[in-house]
Structure 1
Amino acid sequence: MQITAAVAHGAHQDFTIEEVELAAPRNDELVVEIRGVGLCHTDIAARDGVYGLPYPVVLGHEGSGVVVAVGDDVTIVAVGDEVAVSFSSCRRCRPCTTGRPAYCTEFTAENYIGSRPDGTDTMSSDGAPVHGHFFGQSSFASHALVNERNTVKVETDLDISLVGPLGCGIQTGAGAIMNSMRCGADRSLVVLGGGPVGLAAVMGAVIQGCTPIIVVEPMASRRAVATELGATHVIDPIGTDLTAALRTIAPDGVDHIFDTTGRVDVIGAAIDAAAQNAVVGLVGVPADFSVDLPVNIVGAMQKGLTITGIVEGDSVPETFIPELLAHHAAGRFPFDTLITTYPFSKINDAIAAQERGEVTKLVLVPDA
């Protein structure tokens, strides 16, 4: 079928809106008419060559919409169902079969190579390949070809266009607190970075009953949002001795440290304020993938420090996304208040607004 897509032709170039041809779904695939797709930093990094994807390529990995076609073997959804689309996984390897699909041994092939894992393309233009299958979806488009393995049927009073960010950024932040780190009631937490992932972590921490909840963020507007969502303290790190500031709030040290920045200096300052048996969760990606985090071995031993890398908030999307929507319905997870929508055709304007810090979480919706 002919679809409209935002195509990237090179690093640091604007997306162009083009007509491309979408392949017919295989037996285990389906087509989703995209009603909304979140704009994530990962998409921009992929456009700019960070993951080595081939061009031209269609990105987008926080899609939501309505099923319009299904393959013969698809059983979990039917035409007309509203769905969120999340990351793809093989569902055969040990992590997948033991309930940890975010650590799928085939994660790269399933999400980051610009084609299906078997190397076949899902889109073309004038007979030439247009690369995609990004996170198993490539939802910067009017329609996305996805697998039933990364499709989640949802029932919600929210407009389906707003649900897509639950498929990656929002579930990453909330899941880090609720699943990965298992932050408990009356345990202290510092969130490094107040972007969408960090703010989702704040909402997850409120659900878990953490206190105090401290957000470290240089942008005043995001510190204000963090406070509205339940942060008990906010810190502007510019010109601040972060370790001392955290010790003032939590004299015995911070129990949980969640980093979304990827900045070694910030993480190190927070670790210096860690409590005994503290847990440090890492999701922030540094600009240079080769950067190491120096940790004093003896200090880590003496504190019983745990440092854990986190992917997708240790989420099993088919259960965690409905769980987050249930929290939203109960008034405990107002993630939609973070969202600003832009028409799909204005994707480049939306990116510019995000880079200027004018919005917290962007969702692209079909043009009127």
Structure 2
Amino acid sequence: MQVTAAVVPAQGAPFEIEEIELDELRHNEVRVRMVATGICHTDALVRDAIYPTPLPAVLGHEGAGIVEAIGDSVTSVQPGDHVVLAAAYCGHCKRCRQGQMAYCENLFAADFGGRRNDGTTAFSKDGKPISSHFFGQSSFATHTNVVEESVIKVDADLPLEHLGPLGCGLNTGAGTVLNELQPEIGSSLVVFGTGAVGDAAVMAAKVADCAIIVAVDIHDSRLELARELGATHTINSLTENVGERLSEITNGAGVDYVVDTTGRPELLRQAADSLGVRGTVALVGAAKPGTEATFEVGASLVKGWTFKTVVQGSSVPQVFIPQLIQLWREGRFPMEKLMRDYSLADINKGFADSASGETIKPVIVF
């Protein structure tokens, strides 16, 4: 089957719109006609070969679409179903068996390997393989073959055009707060970086009834939106002293929780220094392998603080994404305020606008 896709031909190269071949479904796969897909920072990391998916590749991992066909072992969806696509997981390792799919022991093979377990790829051109199954889906294509583990059925009355980002960015930010940190009512929470992941964390902190929700960024426009989404305070780290402001906001007690979406070592240090007793820093931002951060371990010992990394919001996608949709229906998770639509032909502009901060969450609408 011939499909149109955005292909990364080589390291750091722009996406190229090409006609390529999609192969036959395997027994555990679902063919999805894509309606829309979000653009995520992780796609850029792979485009630039910071993460190890072989190139050329069809990326994209925040897809939403309509099922056209299913493999003979698929039971969770039928042709015609509307679906959101999330990260893949193996389903049989110890972590998956314990319901910790985000920490699948075979995560890199399932999400970044670019191949099925048998070494085949869903996409090819002129007989040459193109890496596929990125996060189980490779959604930068008009049609794609998706592993069943990546598929979440949703109601047909929902706007598929803006559901895709639930599959990664929004799931990560909101899940880090609601699934992993589980802040107490009346607690304080700080978010470093108000992109899509950070804004999802802000909205989730409001859902959790945090009393103090602080958004930290370098773009005033993003900080204004964060206030609209639930932040009680904002800090522009270019013009204000973050440590002093956080001490002022918490009356010197320090903050209870920090979500860092940036992966920048200097901000992680600020996050740790800002904690109160028994505080927690959750790192969700992807950084280049080899990046290191340092923390003061002398006086901080008596705080009993915690540093943890969080993947995919510690979510079970088939459980948590419907919960986020319910919050959206109730008006408590207005995710559409983060999004701007682009055509597939304008995918490189979407990436550029995301990198510059002009657009929080670019969405490719087919």
Task: Kindly indicate whether the alpha-carbon contact (under 8 Å) linking 2:11 and 2:55 is maintained by their aligned counterparts in 1.
Answer: no
Q: Find the aligned partners of 2:179 and 2:294 in 1 and give their Cα distance.
A: 26
Residue identity matched to 2:53? L
Render the CA deviation track for 1:202-235: whole Å, top value 9, x for unaligned.
Answer: 0000100012000000001100110000100000
Amino acid aligned to 1:322: P
Tell me, yes or no, if structure 1 residue 361 matches structure 2 residue 351: no
For 1:321, the equivalent position in structure 2 comes to: 321
Gaps of 5+ in 1: none
Aligned partner letter, 1:23 = D
Aligned to 1:6: 6
- Of all paired residues, the percent bearing the same amino acid is 42
Query: Do the aligned residues in 2 keep the contact of 1:246 with 1:270 (CA within 8 Å)?
Result: no
Partner of 2:38: 38
Quick one: distance in 1 between partners of 2:289 and 2:299?
A: 25
Pairwise CA distance, 1:239? 3.9
Question: Following TM superposition, by how much is the alpha carbon of 1:356 offset from its aligned partner in structure 2, in angstroms?
Answer: 2.7
Pairs within 5 Å for 1:124-273: 124-155=124-155, 157-251=157-251, 252-273=253-274
AA aligned to 2:282 is: G
Secondary structure at the aligned position of 1:87 is classed as coil
Change beyond 3 A, Cα 1:237–1:209: same
Q: CA deviation at 1:38?
A: 0.2
- How far has the Cα of 1:156 moved from its partner? 5.9
Deviates more, 1:232-241 or 1:191-200: 232-241
Deviations 1:273-304 (CA, angstroms, capped at 9, x unpaired) = 21110011001123x32122222334443101
Alpha-carbon distance in structure 2 between the residues aligned to 1:10 and 1:36: 24
Unaligned runs of 5+ in 2: none
Q: Deviations over 1:13-70 (max 9, x none)?
A: 1111111111111111110001000001110110111112222111000000000010
Asked whether the 8 Å contact 1:116–1:136 carries over to 2, the reply is no
Q: What TM-score do you get using the length of structure 2 for normalisation?
A: 0.97
Equivalent-residue separation in structure 2 for 1:300 and 1:163 (angstroms): 41
In 2: Cα distance, 1:267 partner to 1:299 partner: 17
Per mean C-alpha deviation after superposition, the further-off stretch among 105-114 and 49-58 is 49-58
Aligned length: 365
Alpha-carbon contact 2:185-2:210 (below 8 Å) kept: yes
> Is 1:156–1:325's contact at 8 Å kept on the other side of the alignment?
no
AA of the residue aligned to 2:279? A
1: CA distance, partners of 2:108 / 2:128:
24
Superimposed CA distance per residue, residues 135-163 of structure 1 (whole angstroms, 9 cap, x where no aligned partner) = 01100000111111110001164311211
CA contact (8 A) 2:172 2:312 kept: yes
Q: Output the amino acid matched with 1:256.
A: Y
Deviation of residue 118 (structure 1)?
3.0
Per the alignment, residue 103 of structure 2 pairs with 103
The aligned amino acid for 2:40 is C
Whole-Å Cα distance in 2 between the matches of residues 273 and 125 of structure 1? 52
1:297-340, CA deviations, whole angstroms, 9 ceiling, x for partnerless residues? 34443101011110000000001000000000011111112111
TM score, norm. by length of structure 1 = 0.97
How far, CA to CA, are the matches of 2:90 and 2:232 in structure 1? 40
Letter in 2 for 1:263: R
Does structure 2 retain, via aligned residues, the 8 Å contact 1:242–1:270? no
Look up the equivalent residue of 2:219 and give its one-letter code. Answer: M
For 1:188, the aligned partner's letter is S
Contact 2:82 2:156 in 1 (8 A): no
Which shows bigger deviation, 12-21 or 71-80? 12-21
**In structure 2, what is the Cα distance between the partners aligned to 1:146 and 1:339?**
24
The question of whether the paired residues in 2 share the 8 Å contact of 1:31 and 1:70 is answered with yes
Letter in structure 2 aligned against 1:179: N
Tell me the equivalent position of 1:274: 275
Structure 1 residue 49 corresponds to structure 2 residue 49: yes
What is the aligned partner in structure 1 of residue 330 from structure 2?
Answer: 330
What secondary structure is seen at the aligned counterpart in 2 of 1:83?
strand
